[in-house]
Amino acid sequence: MKKIITLLTLMLSSLNAWSFTPESGLYWNSSEPGSGYNFEIQDNFFFGVFYVYDDLGYPYWYTASGFLDGNSYFEGDLYISEDGPCLACGWQQNSTFDSGLGKVRIDFLTETTATMRILGQNIPIERFNFFLGDELQKMRGEWQVVYDVSQYSNNYPFYADVLIFEQTETFNGDYLATGCRSESTAYNRCTNYALNNHDLAAAYDTVNDELIAVVRDDNNHYLAYYLKTGTNQFDGEAFSYDVGNSPNLNQAGFPVRGFRSASKHFVDTGSGPSKASDGIEKTATLGLNQMLDQQKITNAPMAQLTQATQDRVLATIARLEKQLQ
């Protein structure tokens, strides 16, 4: 299996045009453990429960609800509930009233991070990761991916893919997640065919919170991904480019969104054929690049990257692509 890592260090500002969906779940301030915030988002309606303590240290909880402003901002009054039933006791109606603490403001920065402002304080919060491991380990599993190529194709405006992040490993000193474009969703792991023809490698930039992945699209082309990741989804851009060259970061990539379709546990233990050869010779399939209008790719919109950023990125690409076996 050929190992590829392409580190694309892009400006955070280039993400402003990308939409994302805040995730429901349990959030916390990792610097101040002990309290938690459970957020449920249905369509554009937000409901939050705040598990905190009173002045004497007794557990207390507040609620807030209302509609999001846009797709990532909430502001609402804090309510408190009292005089409800104890655990496993007979039911009795509780009373809910305005806490008098003012409004809580939650500004989601990514799918799983936000800034919460309450009582004059700004509190950084993030979705709690109970079991998934670090940023590369949490990618392990199967992902279904949708590409918006409407600006790059005369045919169907959307295409799809299935990627498997199978394992994490260290290769030439770089910590990677590796896997493949799946040969079939009937297979829970990467087959030999997939590893030999459509291998995948990814690295995570912990400074800028960016996942960079490269997939061998076909014999002549790579697909490079620049992504912001959540727990079960990611958003970003994909760049198609020739093997032996570099992606043209002067131009915008095409939007891409991915959703987890099978867990790490399924990839590790699910039913399906092993990596052993099944005795059937297959030729490499055409990649996404072959579905696109090459003239439209050449005339793609300009990217929002400074020249200094592009120079730094391309220098890194040239250095890291030498790690190919």
Among 198, 203, 241, 189, which residue's Cα sits nearest to residue 217?
198
Total domains in the chain come to 2
Give tens-digit pLDDT for 127-183: 999 988 899 999 999 999 999 988 877 778 888 999 999 999 988 888 888 999 998
pLDDT mean over 198-227: 87
For residue 8, pLDDT beyond 60: no
Q: Where are the beta strands (DSSP E) in 190-252?
A: 199-205, 210-218, 221-229, 233-242
In a domain, 1, yes or no: no
In a domain, 233, yes or no: yes
Residues 76 and 199 in one domain: no
Residues 240 and 253 in one domain: yes
Residues 187 and 66 in one domain: no
Residues 145 and 276 in one domain: yes
**Spatial separation of the C-alpha atoms in residues 176 and 136, rounded to whole Å:** 7
For residues 258 and 131, the answer to whether their CB atoms sit within 8 Å is: no
Give tens-digit pLDDT for 285-325: 667 777 776 766 676 676 766 676 666 566 555 544 644 34
Instruction: Please state the separation of Cα 133 from the chain's center in Å.
Output: 14
Residues 198 and 65 in one domain: no
Give tens-digit pLDDT for 19-62: 678 999 999 999 999 889 999 999 999 999 999 998 899 888 89
Residues 16 and 36 in one domain: no
Q: What is the pLDDT of residue 25?
A: 95
CATH number at 164 reads: 2.40.128.120
Residues 209 and 304 in one domain: yes
Give tens-digit pLDDT for 186-212: 788 888 888 888 888 998 988 878 888
- Name the residue range of residue 155's domain: 12-20+132-323
Among 107, 127, 147, which residue's Cα sits nearest to residue 229?
127
The half-sphere exposure of 107 on its side-chain side, counting CA atoms within 13 A, is 7
Residues 182 and 309 in one domain: yes
